[in-house]
Amino acid sequence: MRIKKLIWVIVFLALLPALASAEDVVVITNPSVSAVALRKKDVRNIYRGKKTTWDDGSKIVFVVLKKSPTHDRFLKKYLGKTDAQFDRFWQKQVFAGKGIPPRAFDSDQAIVNFVANTPGAIGYISADTKIANVKIITVQ
C-alpha cells in the first residue's frame, strides 16, 4: 500500500511542471515592438481599447483567442473579466462608436503567426505553445 502511494506521489511530482506550464498564459508581441515588459495596467488598457499606440507612436494591433481555457485565464488574470463580460464590453464599445473589437483566432499557433507577421501586434498564448519570430513580454 505504501509503495502505491509513493509511486503516485512520484508520478504527480513528475507531471507537476507540465501541468503548471499548461495553466500559464504568455503575452507575445511582434519583434518590432520595443517594449520588453508591460505593466498589468497597460495590458488591461490595450485590451479595453484605451491604449492604442506603443511608446514609439506605432499602432497597437491586439488580438484574442476565441473561447478557450487560455482565453478565460487571460481575461481573468489581466482584465478581471469573464468571456461574457469581455464580449458585452466590446458590444457596447461598437454600439457607441468607440471602438472595434479585437480580431479573434481559433488557435494559439494562429495567434503566433499573426503576431509574427504584423508590426505592432500583441497577443497571448498558452505557455506550452511553440513560438517563432515573436517576442515574449514580461508583465509586471
Domain count of the fold of the chain: 1
For residue 78, the enclosing domain spans 24-139
Tell me what pLDDT residue 14 has.
46
CB 37, CB 43: distance < 8 Å = no
Residue 18: inside a domain, yes or no?
A: no
- List beta partners, residue 124: 27
In whole angstroms, how far apart are CA 120 and each of 20, 22, 131?
A: 29, 26, 17
Residue 14: inside a domain, yes or no?
A: no
CATH number at residue 28: 3.40.190.10
Residue 9: inside a domain, yes or no?
A: no
pTM: 0.82
One digit per residue, the tens of pLDDT, for the chain of length 140 reads 566 554 444 544 444 444 343 359 999 999 999 999 999 999 999 999 999 999 999 999 999 999 999 999 999 999 999 999 999 999 999 999 998 999 999 999 999 999 999 999 999 999 999 999 999 999 99
User: Of 108, 103, 31, which Cα lies nearest the Cα of 63?
Assistant: 103
Q: Which helix (H) or strand (E) holds 67?
A: none
Residue 117: inside a domain, yes or no?
A: yes
Handedness of CA 78, 84, 90, 92 (dihedral sign): negative
